[in-house]
Amino acid sequence: MRRLFIMPPQLFRIFLLAVGIVAAYLIARYFLTPPSFGEYGGWYRGAALAELATRDRVYAGKKACEECHGDEYAKLTKHEHKSLACESCHGPGEAHGIDPRKDNIDRSSYAACIRCHEANPSRPKWHKQIVSKNHYTGSKCTECHLPHSPSEVP
Amino acid sequence: MTNEVANAVTNIVEVVMPHFEGYAYPNEATQQPLWSVLIVLYPYITGLVAGAFIMASLVRVFNVKALEPVYRLSLLTAFAFLLCAPLPLLFHLGHPERCYEVMMTPHLTSPMAIFGFVYAWYLMAVLLLELWFDYRRDFVVWSETTPGFQGLLYRLFTVGVMDESDEAAQLDHKYGHILSIVGIPSAFLLHGYVGFIFGSVKANPWWGNVLMPIIFIMSAMVSGIALCVFNYMVLTWIRRKKVDMRCLDVMGMYLFYALVLDAAIEALDWIHRIYSAEEGFQVMQYMAREKLFYTLSLGQVTCGTLIPLILLGLLQLIRRRVPELQRRRMYFASAMLILIGVLAMRWNVVIGGQLFSKSLRGIMGYKMEFAGLEGWLMGGVLLCLPFVILTVMVKLFLSERLPTDGHVPHRD
Amino acid sequence: MKNNVSRRSVLGKITAAVAGVLAAPVAKAAKTVTEKVLVTTEAPKNYDPSKHRWAMAIDASRCIGCGFCAEACKKENHVPEGPYFRTWVERYIITKPAPDSGAARGETLVDCPNGGMHGYPEPSVPKEEIQHSFFVPKLCNLCKHSPCTQVCPVGATFDAPDGAVLIDPKYCIGCGFCIQACPYGCRFLSPVTKTAEKCTLCYHRITRGLKPACVEVCPTQARIFGDMKNPVPDDPLQKFYQNNLLVSLKPHLGTEPRMLYAGIDKEVR
Burial class (CB in 10 A: 0-12, 13-18, 19+), B22: middle
In-domain check, residue A91: yes
Nearest Cα residue in chain B from A7: B171
Interstrand relation of C157-159 and C130-139 (parallel, antiparallel or unpaired): unpaired
List phi, psi (to 5°) of B13: -90, 120
Q: Identify the pLDDT of residue C45.
A: 57
Distance CA A102, CA A112 (A): 18
State whether A47 and A75 are in the same domain: no
CB contact under 8 A, B8 and A29: no
Nearest residue to B142 via CA among B378, B400, B362, B410: B400
| Alpha-carbon A3 to chain mean position | 64
Q: Give the mutation candidate from B3, B9, B127 for the A interface (greatest A CB count, under 10 A).
A: B9
Q: What is the mean pLDDT of chain C?
A: 89
Indicate the DSSP class of residue C187. -
CA atoms of B335 and B52, how far apart (whole Å):
13
C169-185, pLDDT tens digit by residue? 999 999 999 999 999 99
Q: What does the pLDDT read at residue B165?
A: 87
Instruction: Find, in chain B, the residue whose alpha carbon is nearest to that of A14.
Output: B129
Q: What is the pLDDT of residue B124?
A: 84
Chain A touched by C168 (CB under 8 Å): yes
Nearest residue of chain B to residue A9 (CA atoms)? B161
Chain C contact set for B21 (CB, 8 A): none
Same-domain check for residues A73 and A41 = no
pLDDT in tens, B85-105: 999 999 999 999 999 999 999
Answer yes or no: are the C-beta atoms of C166 and A48 closer than 8 Å: yes
Q: Are C60 and C221 in contact (CB under 8 A)?
A: no
The string of pLDDT tens digits covering residues C20-59 is 666 776 777 766 666 555 544 444 557 889 999 999 999 9
- Ordered DSSP codes for B186-229: HHHHHHHHHHHHHHT-TT-TTT--TTHHHHHHHHHHHHHHHHHH
What is the pLDDT at residue A106?
A: 82
Q: What is the DSSP letter of B356?
A: B
- Interface size A-C, in CB pairs within 8 Å, comes to 156
Q: Give the start-to-end residue ranges of the domains of chain C.
A: 1-40, 54-144+188-262
> Cβ separation of B1 and A139 shorter than 8 Å?
yes
Q: Which of B1, B2, B101, B175 is the best mutation test for A, with the most CBs of A within 10 A?
A: B1
Which chain C residue has the Cα nearest residue B20?
C111
Do the Cβ atoms of B26 and C88 come within 8 Å?
A: yes
Nearest-5° Cα angle at B181, B177 to B184: 135
pLDDT tens per residue, range B263-314: 999 999 999 999 998 888 888 888 888 889 999 999 999 999 999 999 999 9
Classify B20 in phi/psi space as left (phi over 0), alpha (psi -120 to 50) or beta: beta
Give residue C11's pLDDT: 61
Q: Is A150 domain-assigned?
A: no
Residues of A in contact with B172 (CB under 8 A): 10
Rounded mean pLDDT of C100-118? 92
Same domain, A24 and A42: yes
DSSP assignment string, C91-110: EEEEEPPPTTS--SS--EEE
Examine the pLDDT at B406 and tell me if it is beyond 60.
no
Q: Is residue A149 part of a domain?
A: no
* Interface residue A122 vs chain C (CB under 8 A): yes
CB B157 within 8 A of CB B139: yes
Percent of chain C with pLDDT over 90: 75
Tell me, yes or no, whether B316 lies in a domain: no
* Residues of chain B with C-beta less than 8 angstroms from the C-beta of A32: 100-101, 104
The count of other CB atoms within 10 Å of the CB of residue B85 is: 26
How far is Cα C94 from Cα C115, in angstroms, rounded to an integer? Answer: 20
Least Cα distance to C137 among C67, C242, C213 occurs for C67
Answer whether C166 sits within 8 Å of A52, measured CB to CB.
Answer: yes
In this structure, the answer to whether residues A45 and A78 fall within a common structural domain is no
User: What is the CB-side half-sphere exposure of residue C39 using CA atoms within 13 A?
Assistant: 20
Question: Searching chain B, which residue's CA lies closest to the CA of residue C193?
Answer: B94
Could you give the C-alpha distances from B80 to B45, B46, C24, C174, in angstroms and in order? 10, 11, 41, 27
Contact A44, C153 (CB under 8 A): no
A18 and A86 co-located in one domain: no
C187: distance to nearest CA of chain A, Å? 17
Q: How far is the alpha carbon of B125 from chain A, nearest alpha carbon, in Å?
A: 9
Inspect the interface and report whether the beta carbons of A124 and C64 lie closer than 8 Å.
yes
| Interchain CB distance below 8 Å, C122 and B10 | yes
B103 to A28: CB separation less than 8 angstroms, yes or no: yes
Q: Is C205 on the interface with A (CB under 8 A)?
A: yes
Least confident among B88-92, B238-242, B407-411, C55-59: B407-411
**Mean pLDDT value across residues C208-225:** 95
Q: How far apart are CA B329 and CA B252, in angstroms?
A: 12
Q: Given pLDDT bands bounded at 50, 70 and 90, which one contains residue B1?
A: very low
Distances (CA, A) of C145 to B117, B201, C208, C245: 26, 14, 27, 22
The total domain count for chain B is 1
Q: How many CA atoms lie within 13 A of A69 on its CB side?
A: 19
Q: In the prediction, which pLDDT does A27 show?
A: 95
Distance from CA of A32 to the nearest CA of B (A): 7
C97, exposed or middle or buried, with CB in 10 Å at 0-12, 13-18, 19+?
middle
Residues A40, A78 share a domain: no
Count of alpha carbons within 13 Å of B99, Cβ hemisphere only? 14
Report the pLDDT averaged over residues B350-359. Answer: 93
Of A11, A37, A110, the CB nearest to B105: A37
| Residue B232 clears pLDDT 80, i.e. is over it | yes
Position B115, amino acid: F
Of C61, C204, C220, the CB nearest to A57: C204
Interface of C with A in 22-61 (CB under 8 A): 27, 30-31, 34-35, 38-39, 41, 43-45, 47, 49-50, 61
Strands C54-59 vs C260-262: parallel, antiparallel or unpaired? parallel
Length of chain B, please? 412
B133 lies in a domain?
yes
Please answer yes or no on whether C41 and A43 come within 8 Å at the CB atom: no
**How is domain C54-144+188-262 classified at the architecture level of CATH?**
2-Layer Sandwich (3.30)
Q: Is the pLDDT of residue B407 over 70?
A: no
The sign of the dihedral angle between the CA atoms of A144, A148, A149, A151 is positive
Strands of chain C (E only): list them. 54-59, 87-95, 108-111, 130-139, 157-159, 165-167, 188-189, 196-197, 223-227, 260-262
Asked if residue C152 has pLDDT above 70, the reply is yes
For residue B253, is it within any domain? no
Number of domains forming the structure of chain A: 2
From the list B218, A33, B151, A49, the residue with the least C-alpha distance to C45 is A49
By C-alpha distance, which of A91, A152, A84 is closest to A117? A84
Tell me phi and psi for residue B273, to 5 degrees: -60, -45
d(CA B151, CA B159): 13
Secondary structure (3-state) at C225: strand
- Which of A30-34, A59-63, B31-35, B227-231 shows the highest mean pLDDT? B227-231
In the predicted model, is pLDDT for residue A109 greater than 80?
no
Considering chain B, what is the average pLDDT of its residues? Answer: 88
Compute chain C's Rg from CA coordinates: 26
Residues A66 and A103 in one domain: yes
**Residues ≥6 apart with Cβ < 8 Å to B384:** none
Contact B315, B330 (CB under 8 A): yes
Place B19 in a pLDDT band, splitting at 50, 70 and 90: low
Put simply, the answer to whether C184 touches B197 (Cβ < 8 Å) is no
Structural domain of residue A25, as residue ranges? 2-53
- Residue in chain A nearest C49 by alpha carbon: A49
Contacts of B7 in chain A (CB under 8 A): 111
Q: φ, ψ for residue A116 (rounded to 5)?
A: -100, -35
The pLDDT value given to residue C118? 86
- Mean pLDDT, rounded, for A106-133: 86
Q: How far is residue A66 CA from its own chain's centroid?
A: 21
Residue A148 is assigned to a structural domain of this protein: no
Q: Are A54 and C41 within 8 A, CB to CB? A: yes
pLDDT in tens, A48-80: 999 999 989 999 999 999 999 999 899 998 888
Q: Kindly tell me if the per-residue pLDDT of B12 is higher than 50.
A: no
Q: Do B7 and A10 touch (CB under 8 A)?
A: no
Q: Are B98 and C252 an interchain contact pair (Cβ–Cβ within 8 Å)?
A: no
Q: Does A44 touch chain C (CB under 8 A)?
A: yes
